[in-house]
Amino acid sequence: MNIILLGAPGSGKGTEASLISKDLSIPTISTGDIIRDNIKNKTELGILSQNYINLGQLVPDDLVINLVKERLTQTDVLNGYILDGFPRTVTQAQALQSFSKIDKIILIDTNYDVIEERILSRRTCPVCKRVYNTKTYKSDFCEVCKAKLIIRDDDNKETVKNRYDVYLKETAPLIDFYKNQGLLYKVNGNLQADEVYKEIKQILQK
Ligand code: AMP
Q: How far away, in angstroms, is 85 Cα from ligand 1 center?
A: 6
Encoded amino acid at 186, one letter:
K
122 catalytic residue (yes or no): yes
**pLDDT number for residue 158:** 86
SS (H, E, C) 84-152: ECCCCCHHHHHHHHHHCCCCEEEEEECCHHHHHHHHHCEEECCCCCCEEECCCCCCCECCCCCCECECC
Contact 138, 149 (CB under 8 A): no
**pLDDT number for residue 197:** 98
Q: How far away, in angstroms, is 24 Cα from ligand 1 center?
A: 25
Which of 13, 36, 118, 123 is the catalytic position? 13
pLDDT mean for each 10 residues of the chain (206 residues): 97 96 97 96 96 94 98 97 98 98 97 95 94 93 96 91 96 96 96 97 94
Pocket test residue of 34, 53, 66, 70 for ligand 1, highest count of atoms within 8 A of CB: 53
- Using the atom order of ligand 1, give the atom closest to the CA of residue 33: 2
Question: Any idea of the CA torsion for 167, 173, 174, 175, to the nearest 10 degrees?
Answer: 100
> Is 8 touching ligand 1 by the criterion CB < 6 Å?
no
Which of 69, 71, 104, 152 is the catalytic position? 152
Q: Write the CATH number of the domain with boundaries 2-111+157-204.
A: 3.40.50.300
Q: Where in the chain are the domains?
A: 2-111+157-204
Closest to 109 (Cα-Cα) out of 11, 10, 4 = 11
The three-state secondary structure class of 138 is coil
> Is 14 touching ligand 1 by the criterion CB < 6 Å?
no
Contact 142, 43 (CB under 8 A): no
**pLDDT number for residue 187:** 98
> Is 52 touching ligand 1 by the criterion CB < 6 Å?
yes
152 catalytic residue (yes or no): yes
| C-alpha 97 chain-centroid distance | 18
**pLDDT number for residue 160:** 93
N residues, the chain: 206
Question: Any idea of the CA torsion for 110, 115, 117, 120, to the nearest 10 degrees?
Answer: 160
CA distance 16 to 158: 25
